[in-house]
Amino acid sequence: MHTRFSRPHMNSLLLASCGMLLLSNSHTKATTTQEEVNRFPIVKCSMTPSAYERILMTTLRDIHSTREQFRNAANKLIELLVPKVVECLATTTINIQTPVAPCLGEILSDTLQLVSVMRSGDVPLKVFSEHFTNAPINKILIQRNEETAEPIFKYMKLSPTLAQATKVIIVEPMIATGGTLALLINLLKKLGVAEENIIIASICAAPEGLEVLSREFPKISVVVTVIDVCLNEKKYISPGIGDFGDRYFGT
Ligand code: URA
């Protein structure tokens, strides 16, 4: 898969990219292959994006996409993340009756809670809460120090039954350094959430962030649409999509 950028932007992208990308001739390869991804056992989904996901990712990445196009592509990609997360959940067989005949059906048997890392997490939160309509919504605000990229805890409002959930789904569109998520997971664990019950749902991840999460929390699950090449020196995912929140919210 290739990213599509105008030449002036492409030059700055290459300059801002990781060392290995400077060697590439014109356009950078956007994502890693399934074999490269196999080194992260916490990633619990196939890393072969569908044609539709590749098309939507192109809109999300393209600097020329309008806000409307960006939002539309982001919302659709998040819709496509939901079934990948459902694959990580427990289901149970039930007997039902159709208007015509009795038959076997299937329902979710996990007790779910959603955790949104504000503000970007509020975008997938909306979609996920429409699918998991009963799941309590937990909110946490962790901001990055602009200079050091260190995460700083600011605010949280959590459900009193969080620790009883059999699956806690953290929605976070971008996994960059993994620092914010590491802080959040440590906090959830202190509150009694079992590491193996945590699922992170994300659109785009950097290998560096997955490395940190794999090392510190080997029992979590990560469901992600694409894994990009690397972080640049400003800790942005490269080639990435830029700042998700800024592009989605326009603020
Ligand atoms: N957050 C974003 O929105 N984009 C990045 O590239 C990294 C973190």
Q: What are the tens digits of pLDDT across the range 210-227?
A: 999 999 999 999 999 999
Contacts of 22-29 with CB under 8 Å at 24 or more apart are 27/2, 27/3, 28/2, 28/3, 28/229, 28/238, 28/239, 29/1, 29/2, 29/229
Work out whether strand 221-227 and strand 198-205 pair parallel, antiparallel, or are unpaired: parallel
Residue 247 annotated among the catalytic residues of the structure: no
pLDDT of residue 56 exceeding 50, the answer is yes
Q: 206, 40 in Cβ contact below 8 A?
A: no
Q: Which of 93, 148, 161, 166 is catalytic?
A: 148
Kindly give the distance from the C-alpha atom of residue 106 to the centroid of ligand 1, in angstroms, as a whole number: 37
Residues with CB under 6 A from ligand 1: 174, 176, 236-237, 240, 243-245
From ligand 1's centre to the CA of 238, what distance in Å? Answer: 9
Percent of the chain with pLDDT over 70: 89
Of 144, 129, 142, 87, the closest CA to residue 110 belongs to 87
Band (pLDDT 50/70/90 cuts) for residue 75 is: very high
Residue 161 appears among annotated catalytic residues: no
Higher-confidence residue: 80 or 143?
Answer: 80
Closest ligand 1 atom number to CA of residue 231: 6
Q: At what angle do helices 51-61 and 67-86 cross, to 10 degrees?
A: 140
Q: What does the pLDDT read at residue 17? A: 52
Examine the residue annotation and report whether 243 is marked as an active-site residue of this protein.
Answer: yes
- The pLDDT assigned to 3 comes to 37
Confidence of residue 110 (pLDDT cuts 50, 70, 90): very high
Catalytic entry in 4, 48, 161, 243: 243
**Better-predicted residue by pLDDT, 34 or 181:** 181
Residue 140 has pLDDT above 90, yes or no: yes
Residues 66-79, mean pLDDT to the nearest whole number = 98
* Residue 10 confidence class, pLDDT cut points 50, 70, 90: very low
Asked whether the beta carbons of 224 and 173 are under 8 A apart, the reply is no
Domains of the chain: 31-249 (3.40.50.2020)
Provide the whole-model pTM: 0.88
C-alpha 243 to ligand 1 mean position (Å): 5
Confidence of residue 28 (pLDDT cuts 50, 70, 90): low
Whether the per-residue pLDDT at 121 is higher than 60: the answer is: yes
How large is the average pLDDT for residues 98-115? 98
Residue 48's pLDDT band (cuts 50, 70, 90): confident
Rounded to an integer, the average pLDDT of 229-247 is 95
Q: Which residue has the tokens 């991804």?
A: 37
CA distances from 77 to 67, 204, 226 (A): 15, 10, 11
Average pLDDT, the chain: 89
